[in-house]
Structure 1
Amino acid sequence: MSKPIDVLKKFWGYEDFRPLQSEIIGAVLDRQTVLALLPTGGGKSICFQVPALCLEGICIVVSPLIALMKDQVEQLKKRGIKAAAIYSGMSRKEIDITLDNCIYGDLKFIYVSPERMKTELFLERARQMTISMLAVDEAHCISQWGYDFRPPYLEIADFIENMGVERVIALTASATREVKKDILDKLGMPEARVFEKSFARANLSYSVFELEHKEAKMLEILQRVPGSSVVYVRSRKQTKEIAAFLRSQGIQADFYHAGLAGSVRAAKQDHWVSGDTRVMVSTNAFGMGIDKPDVRTVIHYDLPDTLEAYYQEAGRAGRDEQKAFAIQLFAAVDLENLQRRTEQSAVSVAFIRKVYQALANYYKLAVGSNAYSSFEFDFPAFTQNFELPSVETYHALNKLSDAGLIELNESFKEQSRFIFQLDQKELYKFQVANRNLDPVIKTLLRLYGGESFTAFTTIKEQDIAKLLQESVDRAIKQLEFLHQAEVIVYQKSSDQPRITFLTPRYDAANLPLDQDQIAWRRKVALDKMNAVKEYVTQNTKCRSRVIQMYFDEVSYLDCGVCDVCLSRHKKQQAMPFQPVLEFLKGEPKSEDEIINHFDQIHMEELVMALRLLLDRKEVLITTDERFVANKSVEASMTKGDE
């Protein structure tokens, strides 16, 4: 078995692990079940990727987001590590080949959604795999207390038991006490070792500003704090408008949201990561899986739905451990909008059934048909066709997803892929018999080589057209012809969102919906909304400690760098400490005597000064409840005067 530090140096080029990583990896290799809670940017992936590379066999990684799966697979491939993913939108043949490579090939990682993991096809092949370990990423999704509950996560424990998986690690960036308990219970690992890094970020300064003109404050922040930034907004329309405003003020800014074409999103992301774009104005679709250490500011232009989401997004600032700023802007109307959004998310069971029936009609599905069938999904056309309200329909779809009935992913760039169906001998015969297609086949072989006979390979039609000295349209037509002739399987790129039916189609009246559970989830959502309101409206408690307390981390130390701490420090500097100490030298004074003597000082400042002097033991209280300067302090003051 390879040593973890050698694997780290070989594939990542790092000389040492970050705090807790080495201990977590050691526990995994020692066959201990592990729950790792590391904040955004804390290096969670290395905690399962390194031990998996030390072991024989394949690591199964359960992940809820397609974009995150694809990003991690690409990152591993760039490091020379063989990895693949299975997700909605892949053809059955592609899934079949990928699973075969897990058994007979040399893949080290297979990323899979919890929905795909419970299919008979996956379970059958998993029994034939040499599974080195199981990593449950975004493990908070298993908890009904979590902000992103995914019911299929609940079936992971059965998989672990049935497959006899010996090494299990669950990872998340944020979890309250209830969520941590849920993770351990639902995964069947009550004896797990829990590694938890503090939710405090010493280099990250949290601030909240309540104001009507948010644009001006955002501009002021970006002008005062140099460096890379992300501005999070609620709507796609806002991303474009605010980016245009920033550009008009001389700031390099661009916009990003899930509705853009995948190639466009990829280009925008690359420009921001490289520093060509300074500010990215985005919906929450941006940032997941992006490793950019030098982000100096993360500005939330609108209120997030939960503190968990806020903590993760704000935590994308300052991953290089240098000073960074997380700023929340809000106006009074934003509190009203947050309340309305949360209430709108609590759609009725009757409306959920109505949306499900509309989906069945939209795709012309008969009752009992189409389990695991996947379709492109045009949300605006769907809502318009059935005259459904957009916001409520969106939440109804999420409820259907929560119930494990459908899987709905945002649009993402699904690049074109192909695989040869013929072996090399049969392919040569086809080339001889079809001279006109020989150039395109030779081009595929030249560009993508022998791997394209055993696994689906990502291709760029532009590269093929360039070598053929033909138009891209002409190259695509030839690929489509080879597909029809069953020489290759060609899957053309798509940016459309997809919807997958995870069960045979139900009669809408008999949908297995838990009404009590839906009502309870509404209460959880309202509680999380109120936590956001409390965070932004209070101005007496250290922001970092408020976040720590939300995640049940006990701390008695203020961060000293948030807006509340800085304001308190400024007030303390202006407090009348010295005059009060001078007055209390000698004979003890009553409270009334102090107030009357300092009648020109604001009462609140006087009380605060006296309280702090008492805390510091510079002032003492006598048995008859009078105040006097501490003799040792008085002596040092007298000596200083001399």
Structure 2
Amino acid sequence: MSPVYNTPEGRQLVKHILSECQPPIIPHDYQTDGIVVSLDGESLLVTMATGSGKSGYYSFLMHVMLAISRKPELALGGITFPENPAIIIVLPTKALQEDMRKSLSRAGLDAVVINGDTVKGGPTRRGKGSLWVECRKEHSMILISPEELLNPACRDLFDSKEFKARVCRLGIDEVHLIYTWGTRTNFRSSFKELGHIRARLPSYKGGFIPLIATSATIRDGRPKDAICQVLGLKPGDYHLLRRSNIRNDIQIITRELNGSLAGVLFPDFDWVLDSPDNTVLFCKTIGLGFRVAAYLWRKGQAKGISGLEKRVRLFNSLNATGYNEETLGFLDQDETASITVATDVLSVGWDSPSTRNAIVVGTPEDLDEFVQKIGRAGRDRTKVQSPRAFLYYTKASLATAKQLASRPDQSAAPHVPTDSDSGPTPMDISIARFLVAECKTENLNAQYNNPTIDPPCSCPTCAARAAPSMHRCQCSGPHCAPEILEALPKTKAGSGKARAKPGQGISKAMRELGSEKLCAVRYKIFEGEDSDANIFLPPTVFLPDDIINTLIDNIYSISTKDEMNSFHIRKFSLTAVKRYSHS
């Protein structure tokens, strides 16, 4: 069938309708390219850089549909839309759902979120009926979590005549998670059911409902094949819109960790406390995130930094919803320096205008995870200059990457462990290739099959503010912009330790006795700590093993409180250490 809206006349109509919105909308050329394809009823698969306007494929499309439904005379080729059109958009995290709801509301669209929190009701729904029943006739943009699609109440919604008459598109943002969290790891199996959900929605011209799927990370090969297989997308049945996903404004820096991810000391991140920038540290597990945050908190206390309750924040699924929303508020509205230690729940879709540094702690499982996380930095170029992305990897993970990347048949290579404090997790060949690559930017372009040059956009915004060009790569590769770092002080005594002075030697028996005594001190401190804020802390937080070893190594040189302070023991524990050590 010949295109109707994907024509010069159709493009002009889209731009005209959007220009009459309040405030007026001027789309990028590549956004118009996708909108006209979707208006023609063709499924759309979009991949481009984070922060380049993927949400416009949903919001701008709805503005055009609403305009045509209100004025059918605007329709081309007899292709019209329901009187009260609706789009379902599947979003993976609550943070992303709420972020998009706010964005759509600011754009003048009626958006609602359906997830585990909203269906239970709350202050905003007090006195109202079922949200599922409400969506049969109300709300044009329905943002829903994958798990809620399996809810029997969702089946009732899809089966209702009122909803069938108005739903006209299915959207899936962060569609790469079908592979990353679904078919590859089974972390959230509901992602593998999205194809079945599509089949349950009303048909369109004898086929499935048109789809809009977006992501910054759709790699050719197994990842893209898995996405298409789950969603029922066959070659020739959909339109692929691929632009480069490289953010040339972000400097990529890789660093080898000096310590262990299984410990409680993280001196590699001391610089974050002294930085004037907003920083997000991504930790793979809640436990690792807690230990990193606790270390930064202790370090901040030792430095005398005030306002740590706002300066260092945790963001994870175990936190109360209100606390996480407060943290997002600091990130979105407060431009003063802050440190957020987050898990994967903050790694997709969330936009922070003032965050300069994105730090990935430990090697991610695949390249998609890394690109998504670093894409959180520098979302507003007027507020953040020269955003940076850091990957801190262990020596063991680099060795693993070299082993995996050197195998002749990489597609059949067994999965080998990457950095994690919760047991072995698989390292994908994509992140192995990235770790060993001399130029990180060149490797990203190759793995994502990025166009050498994106077609230029003629919109006024792009014409006035050209994207950063890259005359020379700024990644930390050996031939690009390598770092020269001062070595961090070691937290453990090395083999080259100087011989002890006469009378100051520490025998094996003395070390064992000292360790036994200090471990007893640690437990007494733990038992005596009754603060509600620290009730769930393990004993090792109050007096870590590394500090016990350091105290024993330096026992002859410690004679004052200031010398004790130099080892960064939590302030409220110092008195207890001195008191109990004499007992």
Q: Shorter-chain TM-score: which interval?
A: 0.5 to 0.7
Instruction: Tell me the amino acid that sits aligned with residue 303 of structure 1.
Output: T
- Residues of 1 paired with 2:157 and 2:417: CA distance? 37
Q: Give 1:230's match in structure 2, choosing from 274, 280, 286.
A: 280
Give, in angstroms, the shift of residue 344 of structure 1. 8.9
Distance, in Å, in 2 between the alignment partners of 1:122 and 1:5 is 33
Aligned match of 2:356: 296
How many Å apart are 1:5 and its aligned residue? 4.6
- TM-score, normalised to structure 2, is 0.57
Match of 2:506 in 1: none
Tell me the distance in 2 between the aligned counterparts of 1:53 and 1:246: 51
Q: Where does residue 218 of structure 1 map in the other structure?
A: 269
- Return closer, same or farther for 1:146/1:293 CA change in 2, 3 Å cut-off: farther
% same residue: 18
**Superposed displacement of residue 160, structure 1:** 4.8
User: Which residue is equivalent to 1:561?
Assistant: 474
Structure whose residues are more often helix by fraction? 1
The Cα of 1:194 is off from its aligned counterpart by 0.7
The residue type paired with residue 223 of structure 2 is V
DSSP 3-state at the match of 2:346:
coil
Write the mapping of 1:446-525 to structure 2, written as runs, cut at 5 A: none
- Tell me the alpha carbon deviations over residues 357-379 of structure 1, each in whole angstroms, 9 at most, x when there is no partner: xxxxxxxxxxxxxxxxxxxxxxx
Aligned to 1:41: 51
Q: Partner of 2:145 in structure 1?
A: 113
Query: Contact 1:134 / 1:167 at 8 angstroms: preserved in 2?
Result: yes
Partner Cα distance (2:276, 2:120) in 1: 47
**Partner secondary structure for residue 341 of structure 2:** strand
Pick from 257, 268, 287: which aligns with 2:315?
257
Alignment of 1:202-601 (within 5 A): 202-212=248-258, 215-220=266-271, 223=274, 226-234=276-284, 235-245=288-298, 247-248=300-301, 249=303, 250=305, 253-258=311-316, 259-274=318-333, 275-286=335-346, 288-321=348-381, 322-332=385-395, 526=426, 528=428, 530-536=429-435, 538=436, 541-553=438-450, 560-564=473-477, 567=480
Check if 1:21 corresponds to 2:72: no
Q: Residues 92 and 193 from structure 1, CA distance in 2 versus in 1: closer, same or farther, beyond 3 angstroms?
A: same
Residue deviations 1:307-334 (CA, integer Å, cap 9, x gap): 2111100111122354221111233256
Distance 1:268 1:77, change over 3 A: same
User: Which residue of the other structure, out of 144, 169, 174, is the alignment partner of 2:217?
Assistant: 174
Q: Distance in 2 between matches of 1:161 and 1:103?
A: 14
Within 2, Cα distance between the matches of 1:569 and 1:139? 34
Deviation at 1:37, TM superposition (A): 0.9
CA deviation profile, 1:566-596 (whole Å, cap 9, x unmatched): 557999xxxxxxxxxxxxxxxxxxxxxxxxx
One-letter amino acid matched to 1:122: L
Task: Give 5+ residue unaligned stretches, structure 1.
Answer: 346-389, 393-521, 572-642
**2:197 is aligned with what amino acid?**
I
| Structure with bigger gyration radius | 1
Alpha carbons 1:39, 1:312 under 8 Å: kept: no
Q: Cα distance, 1:215 vs. partner? A: 4.6
- C-alpha distance in structure 2 between counterparts of 1:319 and 1:12, whole Å: 24
Secondary structure in 1 matching 2:280: strand
- Structure 1 position 542, deviation (Å): 1.0
Quote the Cα distance in structure 2 between the aligned partners of 1:305 and 1:559. Answer: 29
Measured after TM superposition, the shift of residue 91 of structure 1 is 5.0
Q: Residues 202 and 209 of structure 2 are in contact (CA less than 8 Å); yes or no, is this contact kept in structure 1?
A: no
Contact between 1:138 and 1:172, CA under 8 Å: does it hold in 2?
A: yes
- How far residue 86 of structure 1 moved from its aligned partner, in angstroms, is 2.6
Matched, 1:194 2:240: yes
Counterpart in 2 of 1:88? Answer: 116
The 1:205/1:123 distance shift into structure 2, 3 A limit, reads same
Cα–Cα, structure 1 residues 15 and 112, in superposed 2: closer, same or farther, change >3 Å?
closer
Cα distance between partner residues in 1 of 2:96 and 2:448: 24
Shift of 1:175: 1.5
Report the residue type matching 2:476 in the other structure: D
- Distance verdict in 2 for CA 1:4–1:290, change over 3 Å: farther
Q: CA RMSD in A?
A: 4.1
In 2, Cα distance between the equivalents of 1:88 and 1:267? 19
